[in-house]
Structures are given as structure tokens and as C-alpha cells.
Amino acid sequence: MLYFNNMSLGSFLKDLIKNLFFVRTWTYSTLAQNVKYYRKYNVLPDSLSLPDYLEFPYSFWQRVKDLRRYTDNDGHEYASSVYVIDNDIILTPFIRGEPHQVNIKYNIKWHYEPVDSARYVKKVYVNNEKVLEKTVYKYQIPKKLYSIYLFSIHTHPYHADIGRYGYYSNQDMSSLVNSSAIAIGLITDKFNLVFKTNKSPKIWTKQDNINISLLKNLGFAVYQAGFGKKLEKL
Ligand SMILES: [Zn+2]
């Protein structure tokens, strides 16, 4: 009899096969291209068409950790919006306070300044604040420049009385369902991302206890990860 660290041979093989053939991971740029498609055709994805894992770069996680730290320091919620601007993931400057009571309009501008015959400096501004400056090669600049809104993210403070961070609120879910956004991010001690799908409700009914299994049962696609890790579809 073979043992693999207490894992049965059957489940070991099942995991191996799943990893070899069926596991799909999307980077943020794959996600952006798909979001562009959903918008263009005004559709929501089927939960099965969404990948097993989502991957975000180091710069994204640095900003997520900053948001977590800000909230842990002063107990307020902080919010930001995530865009992809010509292959780069951008988080808008943080907003302090209840994210859903603020009607956020972002004015995003970006341009490329030539350095030499091959290189340019890319500068991205949100509401006149510079959020990105980097050198890119000419071939890395898409022929048609684009900006894609991915999702908003916000933090929830730690609740000492229940000994944990609050999960999505009714307000969070109703704002997702009622908006044109495809997903909503939430920073607790983990990073959470919930997608609307073609099976999730078009009207949010107030729930007493919002948790992962409730959202899954309602037809949402639910992802979660420790900071810096791949987001896993639950
Ligand atoms: Zn919230």
C-alpha cells in the first residue's frame, strides 16, 4: 500500500490529473480581455468558464497590503478601483470611508514620452495624480491604446467582538448586483473576489448571514487567496 502524506492514492491521482489537464489560471491581462468581451456583448460569464485560479502581480499585492494596513491603523474602510491600462494593472488612489456612499468618478489619462528610438516613458494619471511611471519598449505599446475597468476593492475592519474581519455586507452585494461591475474585491485577512455570473440573482435580497457557501449557492463565483498567492476558486 502506498501512502502520500496521508493522501490516498485515489485523491493523489485525481489531483495530479486535475493539475495536468484541467486547471486553468488567468493572469490579470487574460481577465481584462474577458471582461472586455463581457462588456462588449453585455453578457455575464458562466461560472464554469471562469478559471480555477487568478494571478495578480507583485505591484497589485503591495497595494492590497497597504490598504489592509491603513484600515488596521485607523479602523476605517479604504477603497480603490482596479484598471488595466495598456497591459499594466493600476489601482486608483485610495479613498477613505464607506466606499459605497461615494460616487467615484475617475479621470484617467496616460501617455508615452519618447526616450530614444526604441524606448518610451509611460505615465498614467488618475485625477491628475501620477499612479504609474515606467519605461517601455516601443513594441510593448499596443497599436490601439485601451483602459479596462476590472473591479473595485475595499477593506473591512477587524471586529473584535466576533474575532474576525467581516465578510461581504448586504450593501456590498447589492452594489455589485446593481452595478455594471463584473466583480467586487474585499480585503479581510485574505483577498476575496466575487464574480456575478449568468446564474447569480439580478436583484439582491437581504441575507442574514453572508458567507462563502451562501454566495456559491446563489450562483456567484467566489475566489480567495492569502496575500501574494494565486486566487483560488472555491
Ligand atoms: Zn463592504
Q: How confident is the model at residue 67 (pLDDT cuts 50, 70, 90)?
A: very high
What's the gap in Å between 61 CA and the centre of ligand 1?
A: 19
What's the gap in Å between 231 CA and the centre of ligand 1?
A: 19
Once rounded to an integer, what is the mean pLDDT over residues 137-164? Answer: 93
Q: Over the stretch 187-201, which tens digit does the pLDDT of each residue have?
A: 999 999 999 999 999
The CA distance from 234 to 232, in Å, is 6
pLDDT at 164 over 50: yes
Cell numbers linked to 152? 473595485
The pLDDT > 90 percentage for the chain reads 81
Instruction: For residue 18, tell me if it sits in a domain.
Output: no
Once rounded to an integer, what is the mean pLDDT over residues 74-81? Answer: 91
Instruction: For residue 119, tell me if it sits in a domain.
Output: no
pLDDT at 71 over 70: yes
Burial 30-58 (b: 16+ CB within 10 A, else e): ebbebbeeeeeeeebbebeebbbbbbbee
Once rounded to an integer, what is the mean pLDDT over residues 203-221? Answer: 97
Residue among 186, 207, 205 nearest 195 (CA): 186
Instruction: For residue 109, tell me if it sits in a domain.
Output: no
Q: Over the stretch 165-182, which tens digit does the pLDDT of each residue have?
A: 999 999 999 999 999 999
User: What pLDDT is stored for residue 1 in this prediction?
Assistant: 46
Instruction: For residue 190, tell me if it sits in a domain.
Output: yes
Instruction: For residue 65, tell me if it sits in a domain.
Output: yes
What's the gap in Å between 43 CA and the centre of ligand 1?
A: 25
The CA distance from 146 to 167, in Å, is 33
User: What pLDDT is stored for residue 97 in this prediction?
Assistant: 78
Q: Which domain holds residue 152?
A: 23-103+147-233
Instruction: For residue 128, tell me if it sits in a domain.
Output: no
Instruction: For residue 122, tell me if it sits in a domain.
Output: no
pLDDT at 2 over 80: no
User: What pLDDT is stored for residue 68 in this prediction?
Assistant: 96
The CA distance from 185 to 169, in Å, is 12
Q: How confident is the model at residue 52 (pLDDT cuts 50, 70, 90)?
A: very high
pTM for this prediction: 0.87
User: What pLDDT is stored for residue 137 in this prediction?
Assistant: 97
What's the gap in Å between 155 CA and the centre of ligand 1?
A: 7
What's the gap in Å between 185 CA and the centre of ligand 1?
A: 9
Q: How confident is the model at residue 15 (pLDDT cuts 50, 70, 90)?
A: low
Instruction: Report CA-CA distances (Å) from 39 to 32, 36, 115.
Output: 11, 5, 35
DSSP count for the chain of H helices, then E strands? 5, 15
pLDDT at 18 over 50: yes
Number of compact structural domains in the chain: 1
> Lowest-pLDDT range, 49-63, 89-103, 215-229?
89-103
Instruction: For residue 221, tell me if it sits in a domain.
Output: yes
How much is the mean pLDDT over the chain? 91
Once rounded to an integer, what is the mean pLDDT over residues 149-158? Answer: 94
What's the gap in Å between 157 CA and the centre of ligand 1?
A: 9
204: how many CB neighbours lie within 10 A of its CB?
17
